[in-house]
Amino acid sequence: MMKQIFCLMVLLFLVSCNSTKPVTQTHKKNTTPAKKTVVYTKTPSANGVATKRLEVVNQYIEQYKGIAMSNMKNFGIPASIILAQGILESGAGKSSLAVNSNNHFGIKCHNDWEGEFVHQDDDSEKECFRKYEDPAGSYKDHSKFLTTKKRYASLFSLAKGDYVAWAMGLRAAGYATDPLYPEKLIAYIERYDLHQYDSQVLGKSGVNYPVSSRVDNQGVNGDGTLYEVQKGDTLYSISKKFNVLVEDLQRKNNLTDNAISIGQKLIVK
């Protein structure tokens, strides 16, 4: 009897040991390769970039041409010059000063400014720039700045329809340090036909269209300094045609890349 009890206890012990043994599960490895997601990004074409730039500038002109013509009537500064300066100095309204402060001409505070202001690095660190409630205030201050400073007095003896003389006169009076500032203004005026707004204020007979604004059927103007982009042109082909460097064309025409468009006028000399 005791032997039977002993055997039963041994059997129960062995069963309990087997029940606590860990169970190992095996998983079949998934050999199916994971699907890869491929993202394709489209690089904008040169023509697309140029078209976008044209749209931005044309929108700017449409928005501010009325203010420019009004200021021409009130202050005697050609609307074409006002618009060209606004486009150039504000990046067609996209600069940080224009977006955040409605300051389209980089007008600094000076001692007589009592309005709001912002600090931004320019010639020196954290320079003081005026902040306006709306862009019209910036346009008005720009016109007042030119009409009240003695060094710009000579400008107002120039014909109101001679935008070339005004562009050159601004540089001569020390408005900008960039030696190509006049050429850049003229390029914008002629590229976007900004002198038409001078015509609307003065009447057609009051506007002097310089020889630089007229081109022949080959796209070249009378004095050979301006070229109108033709179908199939690239900045490289134009540089070869006029024996200039691509970098020089970019610099003279305030271009940030090689994007050009048909009908665009470029300074080539």
Look at residue 159 and give its three-state secondary structure.
coil
Q: What is the pLDDT of residues 124-153, one digit of tens each?
A: 788 899 999 999 999 999 999 999 999 999
- As given in the structure block, the two tokens for residue 211 are 């020889």
- pLDDT score at 11: 60
pLDDT at 17 over 70: no
Q: What is the mean pLDDT of the chain?
A: 80
Where do the DSSP E strands lie in the chain? 117-120, 127-130, 226-228, 265-267
Q: Between these two residues, 6 and 246, which has the higher pLDDT value?
A: 246
Tens-place pLDDT, residues 45-80: 556 666 788 899 999 999 999 999 999 999 999 999
Handedness of CA 77, 80, 83, 84 (dihedral sign): negative
pLDDT for residue 24: 45
Confidence band, pLDDT 50/70/90 cuts, at residue 191: confident
Name the residue type at position 237.
Answer: S
Task: Note the pLDDT of residue 262.
Answer: 82
Give the mean pLDDT of 251-262. Answer: 80
Q: Which two tokens stand for residue 57?
A: 């500038």
User: Would you say 229 and 264 are in contact if contact means Cβ atoms under 8 Å apart?
Assistant: yes
Residue 189's Cα: distance from chain center in Å? 17
**CA–CA–CA angle 20, 26, 30 (5° rounding):** 160
Q: Of 99 and 45, which is predicted with more confidence? A: 99
Choose from 12-21, 36-45, 202-211, 249-258 the range with maximum mean pLDDT: 249-258
Q: Which pLDDT score, from 0 to 100, does residue 135 have?
A: 95
Domains annotated on the chain, with CATH: 47-99+136-209 (1.10.530.10), 214-269 (3.10.350.10)
What is the band of 23 on the pLDDT scale with cuts at 50, 70, 90? very low
Residue 252 has pLDDT above 60, yes or no: yes
